[in-house]
Amino acid sequence: MQFDESHLTESDEQASDGSGATYLRSTIGFPYTPLKDAELIAKQLHDEYDGKASPDQLAASMSASSKGGAFRIKLATARTFGAVAVSRGSISLTDLGRKLIDPQTKDSARVEAFLTVPLFAALTEAYKGSMLPPDAGLEQKILELGVSAKQTAKARQAFQRSAELAGFFKHGRQRLVAPALVPDSAKPSEKPRQKNGNGAMPQTTSLPAPLVDLWLTLLDEGDSWSPEKIQQFVEAARTLRSVLSDS
């Protein structure tokens, strides 16, 4: 049976509730549930199916139905955070998803996943160096960024819980502060550099490991992405670089 992927787009809500009233759709990507659900899906996919399964298989391993709302929301969350890819009725673990369940790379992967979400990246940029407003003010900002009025509370809760898990609230919930990254054991090994024609070593720019991982993901998987997704990914990389530079 072909799996309907249209239900996995968290930025789109139903245009009508059946009463005749029509609501604006969200115009920015966000998850309904926090990052921990993306990690749950990633771990289940890795542990039970070595990284690839059909929706029916994955749902059954979680004692759920692939048509059930709770399962679909968790799967959509995992997709929004970049932990899984869904194509032709198959769910696959991404490189970022594997890093999220690896104890050696989990911390930096959580930061990367958090900033992969367009809404979370936009909020991080908006409140860089300043205090977060109370819940009501934060929901107003989320509304201004493109989340529909009916979903601002869910988006705010997912944002706060994900920020907590990713380590952005270690200095209090009033500010988003990027966690200290990255231990040497999590950094990719450096390849020997070749000498130039003058026998000198060329100068290179050292990038933090999360940025290296982000661009490797783009190079490995970007061929099949839409222009909109590539643009969102580039914006997430810019935000991540800015956050890491300030930490």
Residue 134 has pLDDT above 90, yes or no: yes
Say if residues 57 and 188 touch (Cβ distance below 8 Å).
no
Largest CA distance in the chain: 75
CA-to-CA dists, residue 188 to 21, 134, 148, angstroms: 53, 39, 40
DSSP 196: -
> Is 127 strand, coil or helix?
coil
Structure confidence at residue 241 (pLDDT): 66
Mean pLDDT to the nearest integer, 128-137:
93
Angle between helices 227-246 and 118-126 (to 10 degrees): 40
50-83 tens-digit pLDDT: 999 999 999 999 999 999 999 999 999 999 999 9
Residue 204 has pLDDT above 50, yes or no: no
76-127 tens-digit pLDDT: 999 999 999 998 889 999 999 999 999 999 999 999 999 999 999 999 999 9
105: its two tokens = 């790379």
92: its two tokens = 């696959």
